[in-house]
Structure 1
């Protein structure tokens, strides 16, 4: 929304220039578009300003002619300690009747972002309806804004662009009406990718936005220009609905092949991942954070891809990150690139560093990691945003400290924004106790305010819900995404030039995706009318060629139980006996969807690969895109973003911090950067 709605009275207050804070020379004087609901407007000459604190005069923080630093300093001086502490929390917020979150009539499925009070308060207003409705969560979000002084929120809901935009506007109107009128910033996990593990906290999965390959697929394209275009398109969609911050992207390296978060990385090669990070940061943020930007949170510093045994530090059994190959510095290369590109925030992981000279405590507590390394050596000046729950849930290395002592340690280490709770009571108690210097709070709030000023939220935090519907997922955007879906596919083997398929070939095309809740993982494509110039048949016996597209049914991250992780197909819900019997019947092209570097020797090895004429790697793409590659409508150009191990024994013997392409000879089946074309 660019101007106040007609139902709101606009009062122009004329005040003398002597009462106005004077802008510095060189600061732009062009009138920005103001968006407001309850704030009155101050008119000074031909210029307009929002009276956010409703005192009838123009304060420095309301004066868009001043520098962001001056405005932040002024606003900071006006905030109470309670407001400052609430400002340092970011928590999940919900829509009433939010789909997919209810376990029963009045029981909300608890996620890691909710403390007990949040759940109880939210449950009181939940009822079953077919679709979420864009109203504020009276018992939760309103209390958070008006009593807890929250101004940072994580939006998890997967709803239409209009509902998201209307909800965001209601949130901003609530914030505008309260106290100093400080706007909210709404963050989200990725929303533009085909992903297998769309768990809360990882990725939202398929949405109304344009649909692109998974992060590994973007990397496999080897097309930095298209990566930048992706980020710019996604930026437009996010901004249109009021999402102004991304909890993304992962600069972590996929050096430990068993890690369950590899799907969200850009692969194993640090130098290439650095180039990818540069493009996504510049595409979402621009050369400098501005009113058109979506701010990014680069994670998980200083790299989370070397977990011991592939386990993840969300869990006690995965709390150690290990560096047997002495390649810790390699992890920092993508973060250096993100910092140089201007990433707004950086998120440390929960891990305890092992085999290093750093203190054996989680990175959010580790002053040498955050202050000496991140701030000092790498020169990062933005916001340090904790991952969800390092105080109450994953305080590795600080288990014996009280909650107040944990807040003290993390504040002194350098955390500016805490994710995982909506209740500021314990943080406030920590600050009031005198255990920490209040300058740490002021410095954190100053950084957070600067981000909001740079994003232009104080001038206009509102969006046009009708326009959002037209922008999100529009045909022009999806046309570019469709190119990416095809460019992300990697051709690894093509015996006897079996591909592209010749015209009139009879093809049995089966997708094999074992997943929870599905009794039958097999789906046979039997389109009678298609534009691929081949004939699809319903049985292998009728076919000239079998195409089998396998998506291993790996455990979701949050299904982990501490047992060893494996990469062989049989350990990931693939019936290898079924696959081998099928591939014995006819010449076969295998397509494997890689969320991890799967070990496929049970279905493709020296003993049984004679009948397998082609191998294709996908990383989150569409059936039509794969068919275009198979039939030659689109020539394959993708390259592997990581190395795949030859055997489980090779996986067991590899070093967690060493990229696959640097492992011992004999490790790899498919090598990093490998890929064929026609």
Structure 2
């Protein structure tokens, strides 16, 4: 590939004046063209420039004339319509794919990437890279140069799973690397401050855009009404009203306001539409054994509430759930077909678009088109890693009997715009050729997809400044705000005899799961035996099992019992320490935990949702006070968990700690 400019000048190239004020809404702004005030900033590598009426424009298709879609003076909707009309069937089908950007050991595989862009027309990709900010920005620019060199010069949209939190689970989040590190969204819910969530979203937006990421595959608006569910950690808990406020603030932060998609937005992909958290028996629907959601409390409407916050914020995109209703499901006169939401016309067209008025992009969750057979159904054979069979994964729940070609047709007819994790555009081309879909129907989806690219200003300048990225990402102000949120999110569950904050007389500490250097930095002496300490400080994980460890996601997800049992390493440490010395325990609550047999041993118990040792010690020593309130209840026994209803919030009979419990000092 030939570059006419060095990476350092990608952003600076032809930057003239300030941004033009158009295309900032989330809807179709195909109304009257707006008069530009100043020259739009242009960033390019190889596209020629045109000068018309004293303004400059990129000649993206290199035909020597200014076409409507190249004219930044036109509204985004007008430009999107013009572009779609110029696209071939193959290019439209390619735009409906949301692939994975291919990588090497050190960065992107640009040869493979160029083949996807130029040969199949794909221009939306998830990135799995976790690099220092400057290197990440440089890599993003390389992808954009490929997009600019394509037939129509369509910029690439780069998406990411969450990058700002403590938990890193393959397929659900990404190692934060140099990004500011915040508590999980559960921790933001524990603070309960919408303005803080807005601030988080705004900081994350700036860090994403700095490195060239334009779409966030978040937030999770799912309600964690089933306490055993493995995806609880990415939610705002189980209270619908709280989650609604948090989701709205999160999206307004990422999208830079509540007016929809604009030039500084990161498109929020709110997920998973809808009912995912009502997981039958707590199993997750990434897995064949967990494909069902269930509503024994007839509480489907409750699970819609957080999405109302998303729509109030004009979320740019929605991702449907994998899950299938286990029993017949009817809501507001709509009877839903017993298929996953990605194939469900009642979910996507009747409810989402018609009743809820959603106008953005519907993006499928990953791999819903694939078959689930062999090891996907049975798990890996004994003695082999389930990851050896990752290529056999598929989540076609409810449509297992259909061919892949039939699944594509059914999904598009249901209301799907774009397909996650695949680049199989030929299936859509064949469907149109065979008369199963119309090219006009594909055009409707492609319009919605490219409209957002225009609204974000990517056709003018999709490039980022690597040097600025290094300064923006992880800057001191962002790290300070993140650390403050970590401290605030801690939930004080127990504090017998006011053991916290630690008294000045405490000098020696025994540690479990805490870096000794963090304690020594606070002036404490770290001892090797609990009996030699004034207090024991333990950081532990919520209990879990992995009864499906032969399945890919079952091998990494936390499933099963929420109770500590003998033999659990953390629980054994709690027992040993508490028998010798006053013991303070902080539990990482990626799911609710049953702490009945911890409360009777520990002098103090704190729930955390991601906190580093320095922030933890600030709270332990009283430099900061815990302010969090539980975003879900903590049950008292597994018998009560098994008796509760998966779709109903905080309904165990005798919770050990009710929802919104939290002490302070």
Q: TM-score range by the shorter chain?
A: 0.7 to 0.9
C-alpha spacing 1:603/1:82, structure 2 compared with 1 (3 Å):
same
Match of 2:85 in 1: 77
Match of 1:614 in 2: 604
CA distance in 1, matches of 2:422, 2:142: 22
Q: Which of these residues, 632, 644, 649, is aligned with residue 654 of structure 1?
A: 644
User: Any gaps of 5 or more consecutive residues in structure 2?
Assistant: 15-29, 331-335, 371-393
Match of 2:516 in 1: 525
Match of 2:237 in 1: 267
1:278 maps onto 2:248 in alignment:
yes
CA distance in 2, matches of 1:180, 1:279: 36
Check whether the contact 2:541–2:589 (CA below 8 A) recurs between aligned residues: yes
C-alpha spacing 1:347/1:564, structure 2 compared with 1 (3 Å):
closer
CA distance in 2, matches of 1:225, 1:425: 45
Q: Name whichever of 70-79 and 210-219 sits farther off.
A: 210-219
Check whether the contact 1:23–1:66 (CA below 8 A) recurs between aligned residues: no
Check whether the contact 1:509–1:524 (CA below 8 A) recurs between aligned residues: no
Q: What per-residue deviation string (whole Å, max 9, x for no partner) do you get for residues 473-521 of structure 1? A: 1112101111111011111111111111111303424234xxxxxxxxx
C-alpha spacing 1:665/1:7, structure 2 compared with 1 (3 Å):
closer
Q: What's the Cα RMSD here?
A: 2.3
Check whether the contact 1:83–1:149 (CA below 8 A) recurs between aligned residues: yes
C-alpha spacing 1:23/1:528, structure 2 compared with 1 (3 Å):
closer
Match of 2:42 in 1: 34
Could you tell me the TM-score, scaled by structure 2's length? 0.88
C-alpha spacing 1:508/1:563, structure 2 compared with 1 (3 Å):
closer
Check whether the contact 1:136–1:170 (CA below 8 A) recurs between aligned residues: no
Match of 1:593 in 2: 588
CA distance in 2, matches of 1:61, 1:255: 46
Check whether the contact 1:526–1:538 (CA below 8 A) recurs between aligned residues: no
C-alpha deviation, 1:82, in angstroms = 0.3
1:566 maps onto 2:561 in alignment:
yes
C-alpha deviation, 1:536, in angstroms = 3.9
Match of 2:217 in 1: 247
Match of 2:130 in 1: 158
1:291 maps onto 2:263 in alignment:
yes
Check whether the contact 2:33–2:73 (CA below 8 A) recurs between aligned residues: no
Match of 2:270, SS state, is strand
CA distance in 1, matches of 2:315, 2:558: 36
C-alpha spacing 1:528/1:61, structure 2 compared with 1 (3 Å):
closer
Match of 1:542 in 2: 532
Q: Name whichever of 549-558 and 383-392 sits farther off.
A: 549-558
CA distance in 2, matches of 1:566, 1:272: 26
Check whether the contact 2:542–2:592 (CA below 8 A) recurs between aligned residues: no
Q: What per-residue deviation string (whole Å, max 9, x for no partner) do you get for residues 21-46 of structure 1? A: x9945444421110011111111232
C-alpha deviation, 1:200, in angstroms = 2.5
Equivalent residue pairs, number = 608
1:238 maps onto 2:213 in alignment:
no
CA distance in 2, matches of 1:529, 1:65: 61
Could you tell me the TM-score, scaled by structure 1's length? 0.86
Match of 1:673 in 2: 660
Match of 2:363, SS state, is strand
1:302 maps onto 2:260 in alignment:
no
Check whether the contact 1:509–1:525 (CA below 8 A) recurs between aligned residues: no
C-alpha deviation, 1:467, in angstroms = 1.0
Match of 2:597 in 1: 602
Match of 1:591, SS state, is strand
Check whether the contact 2:94–2:122 (CA below 8 A) recurs between aligned residues: yes
1:137 maps onto 2:110 in alignment:
yes
C-alpha spacing 1:136/1:665, structure 2 compared with 1 (3 Å):
closer
Match of 1:427, SS state, is helix
Match of 1:103 in 2: none
C-alpha deviation, 1:396, in angstroms = 1.0
1:62 maps onto 2:70 in alignment:
yes
Match of 1:250, SS state, is coil
CA distance in 2, matches of 1:157, 1:541: 46
Match of 1:465 in 2: 466
